[in-house]
């Protein structure tokens, strides 16, 4: 099972005392097989990639296209790992609780789900009344999604004009304040 961002032990720590695991595929004691845990982690990582896809490219990688391991530890890798762990815990709890035993994980599940949603919304928050004007800058060094590269400059969203060459002016401009783009001649 290809896990890209987190390990099984990262998820096990978050469910200590709630879920037990086994390496033995023939164990019938009600413990979750590690093979199933690995599958749920891969599923969770894919869901996180999908959830962040409106802003970031998947699989997560540096802006230069190198591996996830080359991203800065803080905050980029930490935030992505946290999201993956939280989503994996949700998958484990959905799978485990109710299957065996009287233990109820609903409250813990709701807390984890709420935290996941809060972190996700923080990364994807858009200024009200705008189109893709992000409230926060993108995670450092993380590659943006192809449809988002021109629109994500950090805070302001779409770049309306860019300077080219000397002078710091847009390539096409109107210098006379009495003119506009409908009644004026554009200087080249």
> How far apart (Å, rounded) are the C-alpha atoms in residues 38 and 50?
19
**Tally of structural domains, the chain:** 1
User: Can you list the positions of beta strands (E) in the chain?
Assistant: 21-22, 32-33
Query: Is 132 within a domain?
Result: no
Query: Is 84 within a domain?
Result: yes
Query: Is 96 within a domain?
Result: yes
CA proximity to 134, closest of 47, 77, 144: 144
Query: Is 138 within a domain?
Result: no
Q: pTM for this one?
A: 0.77
- Phi, psi (deg, nearest 5) at residue 119: -65, -45
Q: For 47-104, what is each residue's pLDDT tens digit?
A: 999 999 999 999 999 999 999 999 999 999 999 999 999 999 999 998 877 554 455 6
Query: Is 173 within a domain?
Result: no
Query: Is 146 within a domain?
Result: no
Residue with tokens 């998958």: 91
> How far apart (Å, rounded) are the C-alpha atoms in residues 5 and 177?
54
Query: Is 182 within a domain?
Result: no
What average pLDDT score do residues 133-145 get? 89
Domain housing 43: 8-124
> How far apart (Å, rounded) are the C-alpha atoms in residues 71 and 63?
9
> How far apart (Å, rounded) are the C-alpha atoms in residues 101 and 34?
19
**Are residues 14 and 6 in contact, defined by beta-carbon separation less than 8 angstroms?**
no
Q: For 24-39, what is each residue's pLDDT tens digit?
A: 878 888 889 999 999 9
First to last CA, the chain: 57
Q: For 6-26, what is each residue's pLDDT tens digit?
A: 999 999 999 998 888 999 878
């Amino acid at each position: 099972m290809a896990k890209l961002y987190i390990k099984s032990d990262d998820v096990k720590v978050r469910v200590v005392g709630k879920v037990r695991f086994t390496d033995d595929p023939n164990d019938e004691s009600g413990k979750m097989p590690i093979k199933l845990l690995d599958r749920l982690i891969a599923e969770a990582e894919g869901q996180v990639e999908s959830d962040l896809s409106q802003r970031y490219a998947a699989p997560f990688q540096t802006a230069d296209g190198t591996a996830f391991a080359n991203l800065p530890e803080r905050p980029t890798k930490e935030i992505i790992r946290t999201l993956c762990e939280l989503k994996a815990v949700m998958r484990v709890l959905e799978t485990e609780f109710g299957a065996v035993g009287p233990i109820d994980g609903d409250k813990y599940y709701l807390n984890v789900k709420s935290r996941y949603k809060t972190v996700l919304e923080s990364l994807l928050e858009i200024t009200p009344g705008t189109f893709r004007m992000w409230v926060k800058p993108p995670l450092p060094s993380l590659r943006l999604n192809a449809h988002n590269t021109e629109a994500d400059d950090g805070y302001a969203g779409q770049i309306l004009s860019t300077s080219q060459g000397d002078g710091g002016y847009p390539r096409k401009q109107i210098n006379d304040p009495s003119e506009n783009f409908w009644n004026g001649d554009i200087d080249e």
